Amino acid sequence: MTFKVISKHPAEEKSNIDLHTSLGSLSLPYPVLTASGCAGSGKELSNFFDLSKIGAVVTKSIMANPRSGRATPRMAETPSGMLNSIGLQGPGVEAFMNDDVPWLSKMGARIIVSIAGNSVEEFGRTAARVRRAGAVVSAIEINISCPNVSNRGLVFACAPQSASEVVNTVRRAVGPQFPIFAKLSPDVTDIVEIARACVDAGATGLAMINTLLGMVIDTKTLKPKVAGITGGLSGPAIRPVGVRAVWQVHSALPKVPIIGMGGIMSGEDAFEYVLAGASAVSVGTASFHDPSAAIRIQNELNHLLVHHGFDSLKEAIGFGHRQTEEKEDRS
């Protein structure tokens, strides 16, 4: 493909192009997903748009057992972002698979179930339970940004070894073909190293980024603003970090499909991730601001792709790399 110029004749534009995307063995008609934890179980967002018209609903990370989550306050607004400390509140995998998944499926939504665990074993058990539901679940996203109870609470995503163990265990639990995505934390020295470990352990692809570890101190009470003391930073504030992470991983592992996320508020932002190498994108915090963000962003992305003369989404994936001789270093 040759260099794309901004089309000067928007009137002549086709209005729709092929948005279909493939993430390894997972094929989706649309590239925009909800981000885990930002769409509840899907029901609430369905008041605002048709869930079957986006790529998939990624559900809130579910654990083996019911979880109360953390005490309140659980949030703080930050400049162009927010901090959350929910603590993975949820009904446990059994109730979730029995109540939420059938409803979503009835709505025609493609479902990606996000799972979490306090131990490698819990991940495996939860994945197996999800897999038992069969084709109603399109894929599993593995939220490895959880503390490993048996290793001083260190987050699985923070070391290649622990990340790899989780992915490997899930892979064995779901069988060789089923699409699984490891969701990476940006709070690491070398995200490519973790990405590689996950892929080597059997991940179909990667989802990135999870929130950044952050903190707000309330200058009225002089105490940390969220009960969990630290929390996860999300929203447009972190977008440059997410785009960088996707760019780096796509550079190193160009064949590995990536679900990009972090601060996507508009079609332009989604386009940035696609250009960096994402095959699909997830919309998280934006839905708090604009409940129909996912579908709006998908439409805006469509228009931008048309505007830039792309014939399909696939053509644009990683296009930023092809425009650049690589000479990455930093100040």
Partner 1 sequence: MKASIPTPLQVRGEVISLKRVGDYFQLSIAAPGIAERMKPGQFVALAVGGQRSSMLLRRAFSIYTADPRGVFGGTVEIVFAVQGGGTKWLSQLQAHSPVDVVGPLGTPFPIPAVPVKALLVGGGYGAAPLFSLADLLRTRGCRVEMILGAATGARLFGVVEGRRAASQLILVTEDASLGLSGKVTDHLDAVVERSGTELIYACGPMGMLKAISFYAKTKGIPAQCLVEEEMACGIGVCMTCVLPIRGEDGLTRMTRACVSGPSFDGESVLWDSIGTIPAGTYGSEASS
Ligand X SMILES: Cc1cc2nc3c(=O)[nH]c(=O)nc-3n(C[C@H](O)[C@H](O)[C@H](O)COP(=O)(O)O)c2cc1C
| Residues found near partner 1 in the complex (CB under 8 A) | 37-40, 43-45, 47-48, 60, 65-75, 77, 79-82, 84, 86, 89-92, 227, 235-236, 285, 287-292
What is the Cα–Cα distance from 215 to 158, expressed in whole angstroms?
Answer: 19
Catalytic residue among 38, 146, 158, 198: 146
Least distance in Å: CB of 307 to ligand X? Answer: 23
Cα R_g (the chain), whole angstroms: 19
Interacting partner of 122 out of partner 1, its own copies, ligand X, none (Cβ under 5 to 8 A depending on kind): none
- Report the C-alpha gap between 297 and 148 in whole angstroms: 35
Spatial contact of 275 and 319, defined as CB atoms under 8 Å apart: yes
Contact between 140 and 130 under an 8 Å Cβ cutoff? The reply is yes
Q: Which helix (H) or strand (E) holds 223?
A: strand 223-224
165, burial (CB in 10 Å: exposed 0-12, middle 13-18, buried 19+):
buried
Site membership for ligand X, residue 37 (CB under 6 A): yes
78: which 2 tokens?
């930050």
Integer Cα distance of 268 and 304 in angstroms: 7
Rounded to whole angstroms, the Cα distance separating 223 from 76 reads 13
Structure-block tokens of residue 266: 């508009």
307 versus 314: smaller Cβ distance to partner 1 = 307
CB neighbour class for 222 (10 Å; exposed up to 12, middle 13-18, buried from 19): exposed
In the shown chain, the binding pattern of residues 91 to 130 toward ligand X, with x for contact by CB under 6 A and - for none, equals -----------------------x----------------
Residue 260, contacted partner among partner 1, its own copies, ligand X, none, CB below 5-8 A by kind: none
Smallest distance, partner 1 to C-beta of residue 239, A: 11
Residue 117: CB minimum distance to ligand X, A: 12
Query: Quick check: is 158 catalytic?
Result: no
Binding-site partner at residue 108 among partner 1, ligand X, its own copies, none, CB < 5 to 8 Å by type = none
Among 211, 248, 266, 279, which residue interacts with ligand X (rule: CB under 6 A)?
211
Q: Which does 47 bind (CB under 5 to 8 A by kind): partner 1, ligand X, its own copies, none?
A: partner 1
Could you say which DSSP state residue 184 is in? P
Q: Which residues bind ligand X (CB under 6 A)?
A: 35-38, 60-61, 84, 86, 88, 114, 143, 183, 210-211, 232, 234-235, 238, 261-264, 283-286
Catalytic residues: 146
